[in-house]
Amino acid sequence: MIRIRFVAAAVPAAAADARILARGGAALEAPDLGCALAASGDGFIGVAGVEADATLTPDDAETLGRRIGAAVARPGVARVVTEFALGPDAAVALAEGLILRAVPLPGLRGKPDAEADACPDEALIATRDAELAERAWAKREPVIAAALWARGLVHLPANRLDPAALEAEAESLAALGVSVTSIVGGALAAAGLNLIHAVGQAAATPPRLVILEWPGADANAAPLVLVGKGITFDTGGISLKPPANMEEMKGDMGGAAAVLGALRVAASWASPVRVIGLLAVAENAIGANATRPGDVVRACDGSTVEIVDTDAEGRLVLADALAYAAESFSPALSVDLATLTGAVVRSLGHARAGLFSTSDAAASRIERAAAASREAVWRLPLMREGDDALDSEVADVKNCGWGTAPDAIHAASFLSRFAGGGAWAHLDIAGTADSPALTDRERRGPRGWGVRLLADLISDLETDPWTSSPA
């Protein structure tokens, strides 16, 4: 990751490969919050789209940082210096944006690509209070490192990251003091986790529930439970997906990656908040023993589910994980994240995740964390109108019902039945998990979305512990 230093005074030009100046009187011009970069005799000179006495919000500073990151991610730029002083919060946000845009995704090429792999080693960022910015960055740097880790996992193809490999990534957190256990294959049925088993039973690598525990200051406190959908590849099962763009289904474990990142942050911070992570991990494959449309499977809470569409598998694995969490951990607050529905993409695009919750207090906490992290959400209704579409003639519930309401709403309603009596929130990140195009703000591909939001939720709970009723 790019090393960040905050400086209160200008750094001599010879110390930088790229100097980023404020707009005004410069030979180059940059649009607001943009960055124009040109070669010079000493390396590169850039002009940021701000005035010399820049006063930026953290949101705008992150945008500017991303655009600087896009400009300087090129061969020959090892050290970047910004020469306009920001407030400490804005300086930290600029550092976040610069790193998230400039750092490339893990390379899978057999031969190096100097252009694609280029990334600065160090950035010196001018600020009006370097000491305060350094203190803030000491807490923020582990969050950005975790987000980069998470997006790197989502980037890996399914032959590099199957359910066992994702479990191994979780086990790497044991070195930070996180307890990691797993329920694998046939043991899922013995534990009542039949929905997870049903989704992954046709795959060569068995499905599993991976359980991560960070004890916090009180290992007996009611925990924050984070549940992540971990489908390492989704063919759709017998309800087979169309072939176009199916390769993108390697990223159907973005929710699990976000939860892993959040547990890494909690451990890195030595957070006093007790955090439990549950990864519902499977590959939704096709085979002679694949689950069929019409199969009826008993969930962890004892209810039965008629699986009418095997491509609505994410809600099945989450349902078991949520029910297991409610029974095993009595959470103060549970939050699940999943690349779940196309409907939420059609509704909100790629800029906001869909937020559903049984609790106004929980929704408010998520919205607060979203604002702090700059990972935006939009609350959508848990509508009971149209819920009869989930009624089954042969089981307690169907896993989906088409046509009467947007599927994102049906999916959230289905999940709410398994979340227990405590406060619960569901984040449908199907639109936000990936950036669909290369821009000066983002690389195309996974974003590591959700790590920053969950980190800010944990931080919020550190200073304002959860005491609200489920309502």
- Whether the CB-CB separation of 245 and 419 falls below 8 Å is answered with no
241 annotated active-site: yes
What one-letter code names the amino acid at 447?
R
Backbone torsions φ then ψ of 166, nearest 5 degrees: -65, -40
Which residue is catalytic, options 67, 140, 229, 315?
Answer: 315
Which residue is catalytic, options 5, 135, 241, 368?
Answer: 241
CA distance 345 to 201: 29
Name residue, tokens 């390697």. Answer: 250
Q: What's the 3-state SS for the chain?
A: CCEEEEECCCCCHHHCCEEEEECCCCCCCCCCCCEEEEEECCEEEEEECCCCCCCCCHHHHHHHHHHHHHHHCCCCCCEEEEEEEECHHHHHHHHHHHHHHHCCCCCCCCCCCHHHHCCCCEEEEEECCHHHHHHHHHHHHHHHHHHHHHHHHHHCCCCCCCHHHHHHHHHHHHHHCCEEEEEECHHHHHCCCHHHHHHHCCCCCCCEEEEEEECCCCCCCCCEEEEEEEEEEECCCCCCCCCCCHHHHHHCCHHHHHHHHHHHHHHHHCCCCCEEEEEEEEEECCCCCCCCCCEEEECCCCCEEEECCCCCCHHHHHHHHHHHHHHHHCCCEEEEEECCCHHHHHHHCCCCEEEEECCHHHHHHHHHHHHHHCCCEEECCCCCCCHHHHCCCCCCEECCCCCCCCHHHHHHHHHHCCCCCCEEEEEECCCCCEECCCCCCCCCEECCCCHHHHHHHHHHHHHCCCCCCCC
- Whether the CB-CB separation of 377 and 367 falls below 8 Å is answered with yes
CA atoms within 13 A on the CB side of 417: 24
- Whether the CB-CB separation of 381 and 354 falls below 8 Å is answered with no
Active site amino acids: 241, 315
